[in-house]
Amino acid sequence: MATSTKSVRIKDILTRDVVAVGPEDSLYEALTLMAENRVSALPVVNGKGQCVGIISSTDILSFTRELTEELDEYPMFESSHQWLLDQLEEHDLGRRSVHEVMTPDVITVGPEATLVEAAQTMLSNRVHRLPVVDDKGRLLGVVSTTDLLAAFVRQAEDEK
């Protein structure tokens, strides 16, 4: 007999082999990991294994847009060239830390949450992935919209 969608738990469908970064890692390292693993976001995990944030390609693009707007406010005349060079060096994305750009108020879900609860959390918070954490905030895995869709499709096929 097929199990109900309401009885499937996130612990049964989450991705456990998760690539993560630390808050002190550079944006260059985060972007490299995203590209190598073909993901658009990474959980940010501290030394205790706790999920302290999430960094996405959208976060990085927003950050670079803010820097561009900030630099556009300054007039481009000869005496500002050195200042501009100093600013570009100061804002070198490769050296900036993940914690400067990450979303610290990460929306998470516990392993016992149901598919429906996770889907409702994603919808109400407009996110595409949820770090799955234990009661101490330690990262257990990640569940994405693709994981949820696949689980819902499996359930629908089982109910046929």
Encoded amino acid at 124, one letter: S
- Per-residue confidence in pLDDT tens, the chain, 160 aa: 456 667 789 999 999 999 999 999 988 888 889 889 988 899 999 999 999 999 998 888 777 666 656 556 655 544 443 454 455 456 566 678 999 999 999 999 999 999 999 999 999 999 999 999 999 999 999 999 999 999 989 888 887 7
Looking at the structure of the chain, the number of domains it has is 1
Domain range for 139: 5-159
Tell me the C-alpha distance between 21 and 53, whole Å: 10
CATH number at residue 13: 3.10.580.10
pTM: 0.78
Residues ≥6 apart with Cβ < 8 Å to 145: 122, 128, 129
